[in-house]
Amino acid sequence: MARPSVTRIAQVKEQAAAGVDYSPRLGARCPWCGKRARIYATQPWIELTRIRYHRCENGNCVLAATGISIKSIEVDG
C-alpha cells in the first residue's frame, strides 16, 4: 500500500473539520475512505441545521488510525 502524502492528509483533515454532508438515509461518509462513519455526538437542531460528530471505523483508514473526528451537517428543508 502506498504511503499517503502529508498534503493529502492535511486536506482531508481540514475537510473533516469543516463538515461533510449528512443524509438521514445514508449517514455521513468518511472523506478519506468513503465508508459510512459512526456517530458519537449529536448537537440539537439550531433553526434548520443539525451538527453531528463521527468517527470512521475502517481499520485501513488514516482518519480512523489517527482518531480524527468528522463533522457532519444536516440541513432540514
**Has residue 27 been placed in a domain?**
yes
Question: In whole angstroms, what is the distance from residue 74 CA to residue 57 CA?
Answer: 21
**Has residue 58 been placed in a domain?**
yes
**Has residue 68 been placed in a domain?**
yes
**pLDDT value of position 2:** 72
pLDDT along the chain (77 residues), means of 10: 85 96 96 97 97 97 96 91
**pLDDT value of position 52:** 98
Task: Return the number of other C-beta atoms located less than 10 Å from residue 28's C-beta.
Answer: 24
**Has residue 2 been placed in a domain?**
no
Question: In whole angstroms, what is the distance from residue 8 CA to residue 5 CA?
Answer: 5
**Has residue 50 been placed in a domain?**
yes
**Has residue 8 been placed in a domain?**
no
Range of the domain at 42: 21-75
Number of domains in the chain: 1
